[in-house]
């Protein structure tokens, strides 16, 4: 039985991959289920992603909806402090951003809605 919570981590209903193109980072978030994708369309906004990654100093964030694969793709402009060849950051290619975004808190859906967003073989 799921417990009532005020927020959930994005990683509970989706997985993510990330990478770079020069100084820009690319994060793709793929929902585990179609109801999860519909929830992400409403709740995983550019504003939430911008707030979560505010420490990176992004100049702009764009969101692209990939409905055929139940995914959202985010481009974080100027997020990598110059990119792999210029930055002194540990993660110069943004590979860890996909892991980091899985901790992004989202408003908790109802227990029954959350169950529909999780893979069938996951139990809490």
Comparing CA positions, the residue from 31, 113, 106 lying closest to residue 70 is 31
pLDDT at 1 over 60: no
- Taking residues 78-104, what's their average pLDDT? 83
- Taking residues 35-45, what's their average pLDDT? 97
Quote the percentage of the chain above a pLDDT of 90. 67
- Residue-level pLDDT at 33: 96
Model confidence pLDDT, tens digit, residues 8-28: 999 999 999 998 888 899 999
Half-sphere exposure in the Cβ direction for 119 (13 Å, CA): 9
More confident residue, 88 or 38: 38
């Amino acid at each position: 039985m799921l417990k009532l919570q005020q927020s959930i981590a994005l990683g509970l209903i989706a997985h993510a991959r990330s990478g770079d193109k020069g100084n820009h980072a690319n994060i793709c978030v793929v929902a585990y289920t179609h109801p999860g994708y519909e929830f992400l369309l409403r709740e995983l906004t550019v504003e939430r992603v911008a707030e979560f990654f505010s420490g990176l100093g992004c100049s702009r964030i764009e969101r692209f909806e990939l409905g055929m694969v139940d995914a959202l793709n985010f481009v974080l402009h100027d997020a990598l402090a110059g990119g792999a060849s210029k930055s002194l950051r540990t993660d110069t290619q943004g590979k860890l951003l996909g892991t980091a975004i899985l901790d992004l808190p989202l408003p908790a859906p109802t227990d029954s809605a959350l169950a529909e967003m999780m893979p069938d073989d996951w139990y809490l």
